[in-house]
Amino acid sequence: MKKKKLNIIGLPFDDKSTFMKGTAQAPDRIREILHEGSSNYMTETGIDLGQEIKLNDLGNIEIEEYHQISSQIHEVLDADIPALFLGGDHSVTYPISLALNKVYGEFDILHFDAHADIYDHFDGDKYSHACPFARIMETGFVKKLVSVGMRNMSAHLSQQAEKFGIEIVMMKDIDKIKDFNFQNPLYISIDLDALDPAFAPGVSHHEPGGFSTRQLIHLLHQVESPLIGADIVELNPDRDVNGITAALAVKLLKELAGLIIRNG
């Protein structure tokens, strides 16, 4: 049986973090836990990543300047092989999206996070990790953005969401989600602070009241759209406890990989 392929690309970048650094260490920490042998490569959807998928780890992109990230990603993208990106802070999702648009055209985004990340600017920086989805929506090539798990929407963020037509699902309303309906190929972005700090202590911004691991995986399994890729961002190993959050990132990596293969 010919294995399907999935590229893994690390983005060790935290220059746009606003509270504390550390997420640049995340890609290598996730790889360490993925291959340490404490768990196997099976997904909950029954896909064996060791047998059915060839994980092409393309290593880390050596980032010197933020505005070069998109072209660096584009150089290694393959239209026939979806990519899983390991951040890094959430600012990397904007250059990822620019590179993906050059390869795939228009697409939709499903975004899990405690924060909407749609500030027009944060502390004067329009490319802060608090701003990527504002920059993305300004481009016009993302046709639908659904952001799930929010729990600190300010008046400015609500205005931005309305301006860009973003569908915001507050954490208090997640039980109202019945299914996800996307018309275009889909990209999934997961900020690990979408989860409650009890499940993900290794993030820079603790926002109590978030997802349990099971809740988030349950929602991922509901996605039926074809996927062009995904990212997992904002793991801060300096804040982690006994590798709990890194193990969570690996769990999500496996489930996302299975989803990409299952959905085509």
pLDDT tens digit sequence for 27-46: 999 999 999 988 888 999 99
Give the residue-averaged pLDDT of 54-58. Answer: 92
Give the residue-averaged pLDDT of 192-218. Answer: 97
Using the predicted structure, report yes or no on whether residue 1 has a pLDDT greater than 60: no
Give the residue-averaged pLDDT of 167-196. Answer: 95
Name the least confident of 18-27, 189-198, 255-264: 255-264
* Residue of 128 and 181 predicted with greater confidence: 128
Residue 3 banded pLDDT, cuts 50, 70, 90: confident
- State the DSSP string of the chain: -PPEEEEEEEE---TT-SS---GGGHHHHHHHHHTSSSS-SB-TTS-BTTTTEEEEEEEE---S-GGGHHHHHHHH-BTTB-EEEEESSGGGHHHHHHHHHHHH-SEEEEEE-SS----S-BTTBTTSTT-HHHHHHHHS-EEEEEEEEE----HHHHHHHHHHT-EEEEGGGGGG------SS-EEEEEEGGGB-TTT---SSS--SS-B-HHHHHHHHHT--S-EEEEEEE---GGG-STTHHHHHHHHHHHHHHHHHHHH-
pLDDT at 38: 86
Reported pTM: 0.97
